[in-house]
Amino acid sequence: MRIIFMGTPDFAVPSLKTLAESPHEIVTVVTQPDRPKGRGRTLTPPPVKIAAQDLKIPVFQPEKVRAEDALDKLAALKPDLLITAAYGQILPKRLLDLPSLGCINVHASLLPRWRGGAPIHRAIIEGDKETGVTIMRMVEALDAGDILSQVTVPITEEDTAGTLHDKLAEAGAKLLSETLPHILSGDVQGTPQDERLATYAPNLTREDEQIDWTKPARQIVNQIRGLNPWPVAFTTSEDKIFKIWKARIDDEYSVQDEPGTVLSVTNDAIRVQAGKGIVAIQEIQPAGKKRMSVEAFLRGKQMAPGSRFLVSISEGM
């Protein structure tokens, strides 16, 4: 079977490596172009390109995959199947119609829940207890094709977007290897998604990142977990930005005050009043500094009870 694989970030790498170990031929890997990254704006290849080059597989990086010259090049490869995993561009109908066995996608959610570009982050932010991976047939609508297979992955209290990403990437690769033989033999028909249950996971915005201290402690802690390790939740105090990497709910502290008020400062945590409950910040990153424990943070800065974080973006305007 001749396969075109399309993916870009780390999530897609285990699926690519699994395919490379199969008896099928990956005729090319399509990925996003190299982009400037970091303070030096160094031109950096996407993780899938690095993996494909290590595997000695040809790489194709069109700026726009729907461009006619890109489509002509892919058509000339005469693929039987096209597989995408977090590629990052919408595929045109001409490409969807190209492979004889169709196009399938490895999606990091239990569709129809969390269609869109940020399903892992949204699942944690919204407090889901489980998520998973779906292998689906691609159609001309966002993540709306028939479901070929699914696997469920629990979300623990300790999970961040980073840890859950790694679990789902491995689960997706395993599910892909289990599903491919059924696609090849034609004994998997697919199940239509229930549109009534569809929810959407839009890409994250700057607004998603700022902590709103009027929200319940549970929502704030979920937001911090769901944005770790990228893009990381933040708050502000005295016109300074602080990224918050890790926090927990403190059910035992009895003092209460206005939302955003620092209630206590100890070496293990900075306790902050939320709209309901208390958030104990455990790891923090001042602007221009590295991520650090609260104990290390307090060695260089005094933060006393009664200090206050801005409640939300609107308060600072």
Span 258-287, pLDDT tens digits: 999 999 999 999 999 999 999 999 999 999
Nearest alpha carbon to residue 19 among 152, 188, 180, 167: 180
pLDDT per residue as tens digits for the range 39-74: 788 999 999 999 999 999 999 999 999 999 999 999
**Contact 138/91 with Cβ under 8 angstroms?**
yes
**Contact 133/120 with Cβ under 8 angstroms?**
no
**Contact 302/294 with Cβ under 8 angstroms?**
no
> What's the pLDDT score for residue 313?
61
pLDDT band at 161, cuts 50/70/90?
very high
pTM above 0.85, yes or no: yes
> What's the pLDDT score for residue 169?
98
> What's the pLDDT score for residue 314?
58
> What's the pLDDT score for residue 239?
87
**Is residue 128 scored above 80 in pLDDT?**
yes
How many of the other CB atoms lie within 10 Å of CB of 123? Answer: 29
Question: Which distant-in-sequence residues (6+ apart) come within 8 Å of 295 by Cβ?
Answer: 267, 268
Report the chain's mean pLDDT, rounded to a whole number: 95
Angstrom distance (rounded) from CA 155 to CA 168: 11
User: Distances in Å between the alpha carbon of 243 and those of 2, 256, 282, 305, 309?
Assistant: 46, 24, 11, 19, 12
**Contact 49/34 with Cβ under 8 angstroms?**
yes
